[in-house]
Structure 1
Amino acid sequence: MSRFQKFLTGLTVAAAISAPAFAGDFRLSSSSVSEGDQLAVTQVFKGFGCDGGNLSPQLAWSGAPKEAKSFAITAYDPDAPTGSGWWHWNVVNIPADVSQLDAGASGNGGMPKGSLELKNDYGATGFGGACPPPGEVHRYIFTVHALGVEKLDLPEGASNALTGFMIRANTISQARLTAVYNR
């Protein structure tokens, strides 16, 4: 049996298809991103025709369930013209005692000890800012997931799809902010 097959064997069908709870007290806030507002140039990608700061936003969460053993953060654009959206950021294994990330933490040594940033859909590890095609308005969904496990044991080079699957299979609650960007 391959490592990947062993990895998937431990999952139960119920966990894989169950939807996470939305706890009313679990909240995500940010001094960098506001619900429904345009992202700042600091959160825009530098490349692909965009010229931004490519800095991860400040994020803070509160009211997480007591059962949370770790956190994951995702930033996702469901409007990207790919057929599967665009993953701008996937971070897993954030310790349960962490409740905030500073602006620019990704890629600058500011991530919590033990956390793991994966490759974004630009192909680089860490945060990759907004860069929609000219004339299009895209949504950017920042989500903090409270997980029922201390660590997601992902294989090296795990795809964003597999990472998303594992995050979802272990999420007990989540909180999100959605911003937009156009150029």
Structure 2
Amino acid sequence: MTYKTATSVTDLPHSAIQITSPSIADGRIQQVHAKESHGGENRAPGLTVHGLPESARFLSIVADDPDALKPAGKVWVHWNAFNIPARGERVDIAPGAQLDGDLGATSGGGRGWEGMAPPDGEHTYRFAVFASRDPIQVDLTRPWTIEDFERAYGHKTHRKAMIEGRFG
């Protein structure tokens, strides 16, 4: 299986974490992570976060689809998970895993992972992981895009990494 690695984004100080995913091969997200209506099983992708410093005790995951802006009129949020315990320099999240932490709203109105279902062809999906020392008190009733989360809570995080994959 091929892993796509994205090095961390450098707009936060001391960025050094990385994300890999067994769910993204050759830049494409596996079918199993799509909604049932698009031939999938609506299972959350697996992520591995590498290079976490000792001070990182919690992770937040935000996954969105900026290509949804045209058909939906907004960036579509597929996954909001906050305050996931992090122990050690590596955290493995298995595909479809139930996460410890707080599940936030998706654009479709659910909580947890909302499978992909692009209405107009191939879309690029972004997965961002933020590391923090302390839990972050997030409004779980609204879907957070990566940019919205970073604007509101970036000052409470000290590491960020992103990975992208295509589907459709």
TM-score normalised by the chain length of structure 2: 0.78
Q: Secondary structure at the match of 1:79?
A: helix
The structure with the greater share of residues assigned to strand is 2
Q: Which amino acid aligns with 1:72?
A: S
Q: What are the residue-to-residue correspondences of 1:61-140 with 2, within 5 Å? A: 61-80=49-68, 81=70, 82-97=72-87, 99-105=91-97, 110-112=98-100, 115-134=101-120, 136-140=121-125
Residues 1:57 and 2:42 are matched in the alignment: no
CA contact (8 A) 1:22 1:174 kept: no
Deviation at 1:63, TM superposition (A): 0.5
* Equivalent residues, number: 152
**2: CA distance, partners of 1:39 / 1:156:** 26
Aligned to 2:6: none
Runs of 4+ in structure 1 over 3 Å off? none
Aligned to 1:30: 21
**2: CA distance, partners of 1:102 / 1:73:** 14
CA contact (8 A) 2:62 2:144 kept: no
Question: Which deviates more, 93-102 or 164-173?
Answer: 164-173
Change (3 A) 1:172 1:83: farther
Residue-by-residue CA offset, 1:51-91 (whole Å, 9 max, x unaligned):
31110011111102333231101111111023431110010
Deviation at 1:158, TM superposition (A): 3.9
Pairwise CA RMSD of aligned residues?
Answer: 2.3
**1: CA distance, partners of 2:24 / 2:31:** 11
Q: Secondary structure at the match of 1:160?
A: coil
CA contact (8 A) 1:72 1:167 kept: no
Change (3 A) 1:62 1:52: same
Q: Percent same amino acid among aligned pairs?
A: 25
Q: What are the residue-to-residue correspondences of 1:165-176 with 2, within 5 Å? A: 165-176=151-162
Change (3 A) 1:151 1:138: same
| Structure 2: runs of 5 or more not aligned | 1-10
**2: CA distance, partners of 1:159 / 1:31:** 25
Aligned to 1:143: 128
CA contact (8 A) 2:107 2:143 kept: no
Deviation at 1:138, TM superposition (A): 0.9
Q: Secondary structure at the match of 1:94?
A: strand
Residue-by-residue CA offset, 1:132-165 (whole Å, 9 max, x unaligned):
113x2211111111124x2112345244269724
TM-score normalised by the chain length of structure 1: 0.73
CA contact (8 A) 1:76 1:85 kept: yes
